[in-house]
Each structure stands twice: as C-alpha cells, then as structure tokens.
C-alpha cells in the first residue's frame, strides 16, 4: 500500500471539489460556509481542552461531531448522494435546547447585555459564539443563493445560543460574575 500524502496539488490553482465532484473557487459560498464551520469546530476543541466540567466536555465533543456532520451537508452539491452522509436530526437541536434550559436554571436572570471576558474558558465560549454566528450568516447567504439544509441553519442558530449560556455558566462555575454592559453617558 502506498504512502498517503496530505497534499494533492489539485487546489494549487484556487479551486477545490465539492462532494458530488463540481470544482469551485475556494472562495465559493459553500466553501466559506463549511470552512467557517470548521473554524468553529477548532475553537470548540480548544474550549474542550480547558479546565471545565466533564459534562461540558462530553456535550462539546458531541457538538463537534454534529458540526462535522453539518460541514459534510454544506459540502454536498448536486450529484452528491446525501443518503450516504450523516444527518442532523431534530433531536440534535432539542439536545442543545435542553442543555441551554438546564444551565439557565442555575444562572441569575440576565437583565443587561454582558461583556465577554473574566475567565478563559468563558471567553473561549464567547469566541465560539461569535464564530458560530458568522457561520450562520454565511450559511443563510448560501441558502438564499442556492439552498442549504434547513436543519443546519436551525442548528447553528441554537448552537450560538448554547455558547452564550455556556459562557455565563463557565464564569459562574469559576465564581466570576457577569460583567454587565452599562452604556456610558446614559446616566445608568
């Protein structure tokens, strides 16, 4: 058996292949969508490597699997056989909602916007939230241009909510209170 090489040289002219075979520019919306999801997945891995509760690590590992699933769905083009790909399910969104609800029960009521920071893992969760929101924006652009899986759109929307609540929960677990944003000059 021959040696497997990481480089193929097929993208040296600025194009890459989608699942289904079509070659597109590396700046194509599909590439931007699954590339941003992949960036998010890397940040989730960094968050999972922090000193956080094992339950959070387990949930984050499951989320990483679902983000990879979403990436494959985003890379699927005409001619791709989606029945051979993993799929997102309504249960994946429900799992996020359950986690959000459980964490919210343990947090003080949110009355103002909060400023990210105060604790490393919490700050990384906010980075995940913002990269997730960017992925969501690109995916909705892709949906408008040529269609995208509706569960992927919903999953990323809920996932960004999850990261916001997780950031607050991680701060709380370390005894770091939320830093509320109080706009200067409004007398409050």
Give residue 92's domain range: 15-173
Examine residue 63 and state whether it is found in any structural domain, yes or no. Answer: yes
Give the pLDDT score at 75. Answer: 80
User: What's the CATH number where 152 sits?
Assistant: 1.20.1200.10
Give the pLDDT score at 139. Answer: 95
What are the distances in angstroms from CA 30 to CA 35, 40, 86, 165? 8, 15, 18, 29
Give the pLDDT score at 74. Answer: 85
The structural domain count of the chain equals 1
| pLDDT tens digits along 38-79 | 999 999 999 999 999 999 999 999 999 999 999 888 887 766
Examine residue 8 and state whether it is found in any structural domain, yes or no. Answer: no
- Its pTM stands at 0.85
| pLDDT tens digits along 87-118 | 899 999 999 999 999 999 999 888 888 888 88
How many C-beta atoms surround the C-beta of residue 177 within 10 A?
11
């Amino acid at each position: 058996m021959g040696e497997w090489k990481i480089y193929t040289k097929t993208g040296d002219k600025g194009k890459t292949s989608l699942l289904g075979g079509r070659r597109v520019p590396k700046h194509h919306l599909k590439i931007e969508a699954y590339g941003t999801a992949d960036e998010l997945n890397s940040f989730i891995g960094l968050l999972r490597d922090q000193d956080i509760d094992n339950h959070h690590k387990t949930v984050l590992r499951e989320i990483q699997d679902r983000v990879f699933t979403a990436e494959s769905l985003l890379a699927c083009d005409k001619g791709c056989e989606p029945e051979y790909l993993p799929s997102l399910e309504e249960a994946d969104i429900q799992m996020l909602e359950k986690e959000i609800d459980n964490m919210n029960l343990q947090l003080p009521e949110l009355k103002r916007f909060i400023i990210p920071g105060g604790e490393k893992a919490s700050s990384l969760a906010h980075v995940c939230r913002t990269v997730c929101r960017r992925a969501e924006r690109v995916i909705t652009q892709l949906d408008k241009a040529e269609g995208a899986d509706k569960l992927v759109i919903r999953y990323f929307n809920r996932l960004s909510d999850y990261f916001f609540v997780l950031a607050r929960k991680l701060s709380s677990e370390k005894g770091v209170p939320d830093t509320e944003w109080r706009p200067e000059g409004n007398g409050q």
